[in-house]
């Protein structure tokens, strides 16, 4: 994907960090930022992994323990199986790369590949709106919009849905800088900019009108949203909560659903998260 979208600067801001972290064993940036977004890279990766697994299992490769993932995973393999496991690793890289490149060359539009400029980037009035949208998404007019919403009273929900650049609180609690989250995937902004919240309640709601672009149906701990202006948001509850396999989480939406500002997305049980030995749950987007 990085090669296919090398001319798409916005996509490369996600692709390159996700690629590096994935090869080092941290797969969530690639999973949420690329694979689930486009779909076919996930399928291509699964095919390559299946072929690599056939090699490893077929030759009886054994490991000293369950080690880290990615390229460093070879360190947990018994030395006599290094060559076989290395061959499996090559297969796990080459096959997904080749399949993704072939499929992506046909499925990705010229705009997604960065070959042509996005619609509205020609200096017209539409281009001005796109620039204003980017500024608003960065928070340039958030305070003013929030004040307008408060004054609107009962019409706030409709206004939030009509203006996708207005973000409402998606969880009650104390906001903290993303850099203070004890997870490098978020604190190093691998998944992009955002914030973290130490929650007071246990219900995550949609911050604006959007389409549900991704959900983790098994673990139910994360949800991806895409706004009408194309802005993508990832809401991730807790740290390493994927290991809970959905225990203590309730998901109210599925991929493809249309949601309004304030609509429930995920309910989580703070007591169960703490009982699982996981740091106090935080929701990052």
**Residues 182-201: pLDDT tens digits?**
777 777 777 778 888 888 88
pLDDT at position 49 is: 93
Instruction: Kindly state whether residue 117 falls inside one of the protein's structural domains.
Output: no
Instruction: Kindly state whether residue 43 falls inside one of the protein's structural domains.
Output: yes
Catalytic (active site) residue 221: no
The count of other CB atoms within 10 Å of the CB of residue 135 is 12
- For the chain, give percent helix, strand, coil, nearest 5: 45, 15, 40
Sheet containing 264-268: give its strands across.
203-205, 264-268, 249-251
- Average pLDDT on 154-177 reads 64
Instruction: Kindly state whether residue 136 falls inside one of the protein's structural domains.
Output: no
Longest dimension (CA), the chain: 71
Instruction: Kindly state whether residue 112 falls inside one of the protein's structural domains.
Output: no
Residue 162 or residue 219, greater confidence: 219
pLDDT at position 116 is: 59
pTM of the model: 0.49
Domain closes at, from 107, 126, 152: 107
Q: Which of 101-110, 114-123, 171-180 has the highest mean pLDDT?
A: 101-110
Convert the pLDDT of each residue in 200-234 to its tens digit. Answer: 888 889 888 889 988 888 888 888 888 888 888 88
Check 113, 221, 236, 282 and give the catalytic one.
Answer: 236
Which CATH number belongs to the domain containing residue 226 in this structure? 2.70.70.10
How many independent structural domains does the chain possess?
2
Q: Supply the mean pLDDT for the chain.
A: 77
Instruction: Kindly state whether residue 113 falls inside one of the protein's structural domains.
Output: no
Token code pair at residue 60 = 């009886």
Domain closes at, from 107, 132, 151: 107
């Amino acid at each position: 994907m990085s090669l296919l979208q090398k001319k798409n600067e916005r996509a490369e801001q996600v692709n390159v960090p996700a690629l590096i972290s994935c090869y080092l064993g941290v797969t969530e940036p690639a999973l949420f930022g690329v694979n689930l977004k486009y779909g076919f890279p996930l399928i291509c990766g699964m095919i390559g992994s299946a072929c690599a697994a056939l090699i490893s299992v077929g030759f009886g490769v054994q490991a000293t323990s369950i080690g880290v993932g990615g390229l460093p995973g070879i360190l947990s393999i018994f030395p006599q199986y290094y060559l076989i496991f290395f061959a499996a690793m090559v297969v796990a890289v080459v096959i997904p790369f080749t399949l993704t490149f072939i499929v992506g060359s046909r499925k990705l539009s010229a705009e997604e590949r960065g070959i042509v400029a996005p619609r509205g980037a020609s200096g017209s009035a539409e281009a001005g709106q796109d620039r204003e949208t980017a500024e608003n998404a960065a928070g340039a007019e958030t305070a003013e919009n929030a004040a307008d919403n408060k004054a609107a009273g009962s019409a706030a929900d409709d206004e939030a849905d009509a203006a996708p650049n207005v973000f409402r609180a998606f969880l009650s609690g104390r906001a903290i800088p993303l850099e203070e989250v004890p997870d490098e995937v978020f604190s190093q902004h691998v998944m992009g900019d955002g914030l973290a919240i130490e929650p007071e309640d246990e219900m995550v709601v949609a911050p604006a009108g959007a389409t549900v672009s991704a959900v983790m149906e098994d673990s139910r701990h994360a949800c991806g949203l895409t706004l009408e202006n194309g802005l993508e948001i990832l809401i991730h509850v807790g740290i390493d909560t994927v290991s809970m396999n959905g225990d203590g989480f309730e998901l109210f939406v599925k991929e493809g659903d249309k949601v309004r500002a304030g609509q429930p997305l995920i309910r989580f049980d703070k007591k169960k998260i703490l009982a699982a030995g996981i740091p106090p749950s935080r929701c990052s987007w």
